Structures are given as structure tokens and as C-alpha cells.
Chain A
């Protein structure tokens, strides 16, 4: 009976969050969850948070399909400094990828500053923004660094909070440095890791595809990081992944390529798709694509042909990398060598030398290529090393 009541209570809370309805008198700040699906089930996951807070439950809200919508942890703890402790009663929310969503306070509860002044609306918004910042410098500070030493060169006395290090002040709510610090570390502590681990237990290609649709870049990166070694991509997921290999966002391009395994590259179509992308990509993306093609068990004919026919259009370093790719995959057939031999005529000696070295190593018997090699050696006064 107790479980049913708690389930109903959380269902109701979930509906309220999703509907954007905030009960009067309750302070709550939240970002929308990544998956815009109604909550169907609430599970109480017992986890070891490895902290000093007497609470071992992470509440997992699931959709009808079994996708995690959000995670919630209720905290009743204290913020201690100057040998005094003040209670902190708050609920924190994370999304399917462990990203911070928001916080809420029990009815009639509020956050207060050093002198017991309640937070203003602007300060709640500031706190919400700080907690949203996963890269905050609060990660680098120790609790003990919040207040400076008496004669510190950083000393700046804040009328509200007492002395707070000037270099810390810009990362906290003024007058509530310790509360901000504590909450940020709770948001990015073990609860976040546990939320991610629980999501991993429910990963499917379709769930990853849905997370990839998120407007938040860190969700997309999370999804791309959880393909290789986690799920076998379906054609729909593969298509979604390939759409990110466009160089518009370097991280997404890099992570999308990272999600492709050497076994995936055994597919001829995938290699030629990547080779095609290479023709249109910027320099950084070209380098990533070539590194990925290097992982292929063998270079397929279509990809080889695309690269060889267009080799002259690449920059010197990319040409060098393409030639290395050919050598790695023993792609030294006569047709490839003929395409490469065009590079012997290029004025830039960096390029022509690379082509020369490749053709010598390829040891082709093609008459046309041999003629060009002799011409190159003559023009460059090259003497064979014995």
C-alpha cells in the first residue's frame, strides 16, 4: 500500500514537472527532460552514494517503453562552516544521461544566505545556472579554499557572506558560497554516475537514437559515446550517426566516427560513404576520416577508387595520409599507382617526394608509371641508395 502511494505521488510529481506546473509556495527550477515522454513507472533504486547523507534511494522515472526519463534524489543534510551548521532540504533531478535538470524545495522551504536572508529570485536563477554548468571551476576548489586566509592577497570582504575568496566569488551565489559549493558537488557526484549506470542497463539502439535527437550537445555526445561496446546499431541509428560526420561540430564528428568499429567497416557501403564524405570535408574532418579508414580490416575497391581519383585535390599532408592508408592496406595496384604518379608532376616537392616514395615502395611494373619515375629521378638528380 505504501509503495503504491509513493508511486502515485511520484507519478503526480512527474506529471507536474512535465506540465510545467509549479505548486504555489513551492520553489522549483528545472530544465525540460531530454525525452519528452510521459512518466509511466517509478522505480526506487537503492544505491551506494558513498557520501555522508542519510539517503540511499535514487528515484528512476520510466516511460511506457521503459526509457529512463529522469532521476531524483531527496537530500536532507547540513551546510557547515564557521563551526555552525544549517539544514538543507532539497530534491535534485537529473535526466536520462545524468545531466542536471533542476532542483525543488519542499513547501514553505527556502534557501537562505549567510545572514539568514532568503534567496531572491535572481539568486535562485543564478544557483540554477551554476548547477547547470558541468564545467564550473567549483570542481577544482576544495571546501577549505572558499574562505581565504586573513592576509590573503585575494581577500575581498563580502558584506553578506563574510570573506569569500575573490576567485571563488564569481562561481557561487554571493552570501551562499558553501551552499552553492555543496550542491554543485552533489549534482556532479556519485548520483550522476549512478543515474548514468542505471540508464546503461536499459540502453537500446532506439533509446540512443532518441537521445541523439536532444537539442543539448552533451546529450548527443553521451549517446555517441554509448554505441560502441553497448549496442549493435540498427540502420536507423547508423544513419543518424553518419549525419553527424559533417565537420559542423568537431566533437560530434569525432565522437560519431569513434562509435564506428573496425568490424563495422567491413561493410563496403560504410567505407565508401566515409570516403565520399572525405571529398567534401574540411581538413580536421579529413584527418579523422582517414584515421578511421586506417582501422578497416581491408580497404574496399570503391573507397580506394574514390580516394585515388581525387588524390590531387587534397592538401599535401592529406595526400601523405592517403598514401599511408594505401600502403597500410597494400593498395599498390597499377591503377592506383597511375593515379598517384600524377603527383610526381606537382611543383611542391613535399608532395612529389611523397608520391615518389610511395611508388618506389609499391614497386609497380606499369610502364607508364616507370617512365614517369625515370623522368622524376632525372629531373631531381636522384641516385638510388644501395
Chain B
């Protein structure tokens, strides 16, 4: 053996030995856990190592917090920041590696819509984060003073998704939120004054005692675990795998030929017309982006989400292979593909109030409205999507009751699992609306904790004041 190889092996052996002697906590501390806000010190009630075998043990922790947010996606991040900034001890549990959900991991990095008919209707923490991401990437905002007409995407804000993921994480840490990545709840049990939530993660098994629980899973997962019924359609909207392609000059393509060949493959059954909305020209013109449809995509369980991911990737790969056989597309290549298929629809809660399509399109002003929502009715199906726009001046509102599962205590939801019928939900589910809900839900949870009550019974004037003092817009006040 050459001397330098021996030396390298020796050094590696020393490192391994010293690591095994280093306690897990001190390893985390050496990574700067405290300064980065990932220390559980302020929340820890007890902790022990449970050996699994001679080489591996699980850390079993019991934590206590005022507010627990399950799901660090579009709504959950805002909820956690709101709770933290209002001075509550807050834990945020997220089962993937970063925050932001569909905006970041799903790659649908163009939240909207914050402005309706020339006026801002959703602001607060969500808007603050979006604006900071815009500034840090030297992007410019659309001109919201001009109505978007029939083209609402022009009022969505294109973000650098990965930048946004880092920014929102920083904001959570600054708000004192204790983030727990790679963990998912396995059991939720009601307690005398709140909940006991058991989670499992890599090398950890955690019990979290909390007073208020905010379900921001998007799938009403925490609500189900807590024992409340949820609703689901027989057929749900397709998901989308976001991607970017390049390596061709669109202007040089023979689009008639491409369309013809595409249809031939569909007839042969080698391509599925639903997978890219039967629009190969659109796929090539937009160079990917939000054009794929993964039918039946479901993020509810690891199994169903695995299937949606594999389905999305397989269909993209298959289509790429076909496109590369066509003239001037021989060098077509994939530039980027998101890590997972973004999902539009799974479960919704059965809330104290169910927002109907009629409520939405007429802009019903609820007495307990806590947030606005503004988006066309946007139901994707196998044919694609043709949005139905709201009439001029209509800005729908979201009542507090639609965020609270029937008969529940100390539990509130935010995001696309809001209690609503399917058509209303197709508009309510979008990111800006979810951000508004996240802030409102957390404000209700904060006050419920402060007053020792449940979110449905918090003093409503105080709730409005709290949301507004943190920059949120409460319907009726503007």
C-alpha cells in the first residue's frame, strides 16, 4: 500500500472514533444549533436515549410548547412566524428538508394573488416574505394597479424558490420558532389543556405537549389524527411536477409537424394526452414550468406521494425521449426538475362553517371574516383548466369558523384544507390565501392560549387587532 493511502485511512479512523465518543447533543452544539435556533433547550421537559441495539439508539424527547404547528408549507410558515412574533413558544414540525411546501419543494414559486381590483387584500407576514425575496433577487413586482383582466397569472409574483426557502427559514428562527425537519406526527391525543402529539423522525421519537394545535399539513392530516372527520372528493384535481427544459430554439420548430407526431403517439398509446394537457406546443413554448398534470396525485401518505412522484417523473422522461426524436429538438434537455409532485387537492376539514361556491363568487362578507381570498375558480381536470374569473369588485372572505373543525377544542387549520365545497376550495387553496389564513389561524391560537380558551371563542375584536397589528388585512377594516 502506498504511504499516502495508509495515512488517509488512518485519519478517517481517528475521525470515526472521536465521533462515536462525541455525544449527540454536543455534536449538534458544535454545528451551532443554539445560534441557529434549532436547539430544543427552551422546550425540553425530559430526554433519554433508548438503545435499539448495540450500535444505535433513538433519542426520546418530551417537549412542551404553547403552540404547535404541523406542516411548514405555505400556511404553516406564516402561522409559526405569527405565533412566535406574538410572543408564544412555538414549535414547527415539517416532514421534508425545507420550509415552503408547494412554493419551494413543489416549485410553484409564484404566489398570488395579493391584490384585487387595485387594492392590496392580503398583506402581513406572507407579503413581507414575498417582498423580501423579490428585493433580494432584484426582481420587480407586477403593476397591481392595472387589473389582470382574464390573465390572472400576471398578478402572481415569480420568486426564486430556493431563496424564498432560505428566507422563510431565517424568519422562523428570528421569531424564535423551534423547527423540527424530517418529523411527522404519528398520534395526537387530547389532554386536559391541549394536546399530546407524538412524532417520529430520523433517530428521534418526540412527544410534544402543546396548548394549541395548528394543522397546516394541507391534507387535514393532524385533524384526522386528532379524531375529527374530514371530507374528500371521489376524483381530485391532478397534481403538477414542475420542471424546466431547454436546448432548442422555439422559433425554429415546425409546430404543425410536432403536433401531428404528438397526436400520433397519443393514438398509439405511447403518450397520454392528459399528462401535458394535450398541448405539446404550450409545453415547448413555456419550456416546461406548470404544464404537467399528474392525475390522481395525492400527498396524503408516503405511499401515495411516492406514486405521484414516480408517475410525474416517468411521464416527463417518456415525453422528453419522444421530443428528442423530432427535428430541431434532438438536443432538448432537462434543466431542472422539482423534487416532488406538487398536489392541489386531498382532504378538507368539516368545519363549523363550509364556504360555498356561492359565498365565494359573491364575495360574501362574514361577520367573523379573518382574511380575504382572491383568485378565480380554478378547477384543474383531465382537460386542463379554464379559470372562471370573479366579477369586478368581488373579493371573497374567509370566516374563522371555516378554519375550525366541528366539535374541536384548541385546534385550528390553515391552508387548502379549509372547510369549503370543492369549487370554492379550487380558489381558496392558492398560496396568498393560504398565507392570509396562516396568519389569522395563528393569531386565533395565540389569543386562545392567552385567554385560556379555544380559537372559536377568542374575543373577536382582539383577534382583528392582533392580525392587523402584525400587518394582516382583516376584511371590513379596509
A residues near B (Cβ < 8 Å) are 133-137, 139-140, 142, 144-145, 149-154, 166-167, 170-171, 217-218, 220-221, 249-252, 254, 282-284, 287, 291, 315-317, 320, 347-351, 353
A232–B471 Cα distance when bound, in Å, is: 34
Instruction: Indicate whether B128 reaches chain A with its CB closer than 8 angstroms.
Output: yes
Residues B174 and A154 in contact, CB atoms below 8 Å apart: no
Cα distance, A250 to B281, chains bound together (Å): 37
Tell me whether B86 and A348 are in contact (CB under 8 A): yes
Do residues B150 and A136 form an inter-chain contact, with CB atoms below 8 A? yes
Residues of B bordering A, CB below 8 Å: 84-87, 115, 118, 120, 123-125, 127-128, 131, 135, 141, 143-151, 154, 174-176, 250, 255-256, 259, 262-263, 266, 273-274, 277-279, 281-282, 285-286, 382-384, 386, 469-472
Q: Are the C-beta atoms of B143 and A142 separated by less than 8 Å?
A: no
For residue B145, which residues in chain A have a CB less than 8 angstroms away from its CB? 217-218, 220-221, 249, 251-252
Q: Which residues of B contact A282 (CB under 8 A)?
A: 123, 471
Complex interface: chain A residues within 8 A of B115 (CB)? 250
- Inter-subunit contact A221/B278 (CB<8 Å): no
Given A315-B85, A316-B86, A347-B87, 4 further pairs, Cβ under 8 A: A167-B386, A221-B143, A349-B176, A351-B87
Is the Cβ of B123 less than 8 Å from the Cβ of A284? yes
Sample 25 A-B pairs with CB under 8 A, ordered by A number. Answer: A135-B147, A136-B149, A145-B281, A149-B259, A150-B263, A153-B273, A153-B274, A153-B384, A170-B150, A171-B150, A217-B145, A218-B146, A250-B115, A250-B144, A283-B124, A283-B470, A284-B127, A284-B131, A284-B471, A287-B128, A316-B85, A348-B86, A350-B86, A350-B87, A350-B175
Known contacts A149-B263, A250-B115, A252-B145: A144-B256 contact under CB 8 Å: yes
- Bound CA span A149–B273, Å: 12
From B174, B175, B266, B282, A145 is in contact (CB under 8 Å) with B282
A317 touches B128 (CB 8 A): yes
Chain B residues closer than 8 Å to A151, beta-carbon distance: 263, 266
CA separation between A348 and B85, bound complex, in Å?
Answer: 8
Q: Are B176 and A353 in contact (CB under 8 A)?
A: yes
Residues of chain A lying within 8 A (CB to CB) of residue B274: 153
Given contacts A218-B145, A349-B87, contact A154 B383 (CB under 8 A): yes
Complexed CA–CA distance, A350 and B81 (Å)? 11
The reply to whether A217 and B118 contact each other, CB–CB distance below 8 Å, is yes
For residue A137, which residue of chain B has the nearest CB? B151
Docked Cα-Cα span, A139 to B154, in Å, equals: 10
Residue of B151, B263, B278, B471 near A315 (CB, 8 A) is B471
Judge whether A350 and B150 touch: CB under 8 Å: no
Q: Give Cα distance in the complex from A283 to B470, angstroms.
A: 7
Q: Lowest 3 A-B CB distances belong to which pairs?
A: A283-B471, A217-B145, A348-B87
Separation of A133 and B146 alpha carbons in the complex (Å): 9
Interchain nearest-CB distance for B408 vs A (Å)? 27
The chain A residue with its CB closest to the CB of B154 is: A135
Shortest B188–chain A CB gap in Å is 27
Most-contacted residue by chain B among A135, A170, A347 (CB, 10 A): A135
B146, B382, B386: which contacts A135 (Cβ < 8 A)?
Answer: B146
With A135-B154, A349-B176 as contacts: A154 and B384 at CB distance below 8 Å:
yes
Chain A's closest residue to B381 (CB) is A153
Q: Hey, which chain B residues are within 8 Å of A145, CB to CB?
A: 279, 281-282, 285
